[in-house]
A and B are shown apart, each in its own frame.
Chain A
């Protein structure tokens, strides 16, 4: 199998991608949204014409709301980002925005208003961190449980790759699958202003659940082939992994493809609020499949080779 033959190239490629993701994370930083940071987001649409941005910015400055960010959206709308606003402040903001509506024809419609106090943001941050920790732990336990028996069945005696190493590699693969979409998101948020919100955290956690299954499908196959190997003497670990990959890469791609198909539908046709979510999950699914074929199995062979040398 060519993948095993050129394993070092594929492993290096993954390392480069992960390194780039971390680099972009440090260079661009995370653009944290109001879900976690607290603040207000107001979306308005004018009926006939949008007020002049510079004029509005000047009048908004006079309101003394601190730094207010005014972003034009679509044809006739604005998104206004500011600190969390109280009810009277919110009313004041809307009045300011509709200032040039003297003849009552250019009415202002508030599409959405979202004001999150700092304490609510902190609470959500705490919850998100707990969820990330708990899901990671649960997935690690699950992996450990799934691979608890591999080495017993391998028939390779002392040379067998211990089951915890399968688990360890699965976890490394998982980190890879999460790191790359996060890196992608950081780049997107730098250039297109996407914000790290609750859905981002959900996307990361869902990737954890989705991508681990791909790796398990392939490792399952390796396990099965090892079990069926009767002759202890003439066994080549590399060959078995190669054969297992050959048998299962197609189904691994197909199962991911069905999910990627619906995710693409969600990205292109779905609601605006879940666009980045769908994109992140698509990236997660893609790299999850990629890593289960091009990273997890080569790593397994590499680990076995190191073991032999010792």
Chain B
């Protein structure tokens, strides 16, 4: 009579796992549907739609840029800081243009990657490289110039229409005050004219410089130059000690807003040059996703068919475990989230094949034990315990490869290594523990002819 609660417990446990697995699968399915339903441009998603699959550039379309940072002028101990500052500036610039989920990362030079400091910029959805390069390379150059001392020769030219034009650049001379000393730029609107204006706040050094400039030039013009062209030429009325200035050119609100953004994102602390570009059109990415999904489904069906034909009832159970494995993996891809590339999908598909390896080893062993005259229950437990060594060893070798590939790889290889490595670990759990619990439920089946048929292989020996 003690057997009954034992079996009962097993059934409850199996049911719990089934329900959990179904729930995870349901989450994957529902969250994908919810995400698809979203309008293309609403990125601030809520609820389940917060967890879409994150697609790599080769699948979503976009640009991948590698820049070399010239750090030759920077002291060795400050290279790391400068590179981080560079990353922040580029990140701000990219964000300014509304790219969704850009990735900007620093790759430090070293023995393996060579001596170069690099900056890697991933821009999903941006397929116009030119636009991408422009938005990153734009450096707003803010300068303050004062009137040249009287007596300085001025270049004047007489135009064809007889008008005299004075070359402005010879009228003004540069000061030390530049955008480098800017602390913050803000967009404001003039209370009277409603015209947009950009107000500037300098940092300590900038404030001192600005105070000095305004003090020495009362009654004169201080020209504000942006990217080499004067945008505002106000006349100084008094010394300004608080480090606040206003540019009130004839901006449109959009222009003013862009300028504020660009000024705030600042100048690059380190000069950069473009080393390589990679752009994938959205069409190519879409077809790769569809092909990947198709291959995964067909691969799964083939494996399921193979398992059921060859191993009958245990094969069916292994297929159920495989479904749970796939649900768990896909849910992890969404939650972590894992950036999926074409190679990453390949890694996932291969892991479906590897996941059932352990089951094949166990079931073959079980068959062998059954033939040697053991009962089904004995054969099952012997199959699991004896196959364990082989399973462990064959998974270790795959795991070694995955770890080293992840460690060394570029983003493409990392995607593959990550999905394969995750597959190896989780498949050990699904193929051994989950399958074992499910098989345990069938202990009520007894030792009849039908039972032995169900547990035997399709290949007679």
Contact = CB atoms under 8 A, between A and B. Distances in A.
A35 to B, nearest CB: 9
B284 interface: yes
Contacts of A115: 276-278
Contacts of A130: 112, 408
Interface string A123-160: 11011001100110011001000100000000000000
A111 B284 contact: yes
A180 interface: no
Contacts of B409: 127, 131, 202
Given A87-B133, A120-B276, A259-B354, A272 B401 contact: no
Given A206-B401, A274-B346, A111 B281 contact: yes
B343 to A, nearest CB: 6
Q: Binding site of B, secondary structure by majority: helix, strand, loop or mixed?
A: helix
Interface in A259-282: 259-266, 268-274, 277-278, 281
A262 B349 contact: yes
Interface in B122-149: 127, 129-130, 133
B342 A274 contact: yes
B447 to A, nearest CB: 24
Interface stretch (B31-39, B154-162, B251-259, B387-395): B387-395
A254 B275 CA distance: 47
A12 interface: no
B302 A265 contact: yes
B5 to A, nearest CB: 36
Q: A interface, how many residues as a size bin?
A: 35 or more
A127 B112 contact: yes
Interface residues of B, number: 75
Contact of A124 (B357, B364, B410): B410
B275 A119 contact: yes
A260 B353 contact: yes
B412 interface: yes
A122 interface: yes
Contacts of B352: 262
Contacts of B4: none
A29 to B, nearest CB: 24
A113 B279 contact: yes
A114 B277 contact: yes
B129 A198 contact: no
Give the residue among A123, A199, A220, A258 with the most B Cβ atoms within 10 A.
A258
A257 interface: yes
Interface stretch (B77-85, B97-105, B208-216, B289-297): B289-297
A216 B353 contact: no
Given A262-B303, A271-B288, A278-B346, A114 B279 contact: yes
Interface string B307-328: 1001000000000000000000
A178 interface: no
B390 A120 contact: no
13 contacts: A111-B281, A113-B279, A114-B277, A131-B409, A139-B400, A202-B409, A209-B399, A216-B394, A260-B353, A262-B300, A266-B299, A266-B350, A270-B294
* Closest CB pairs A-B (n = 4): A213-B394, A209-B401, A259-B353, A265-B299
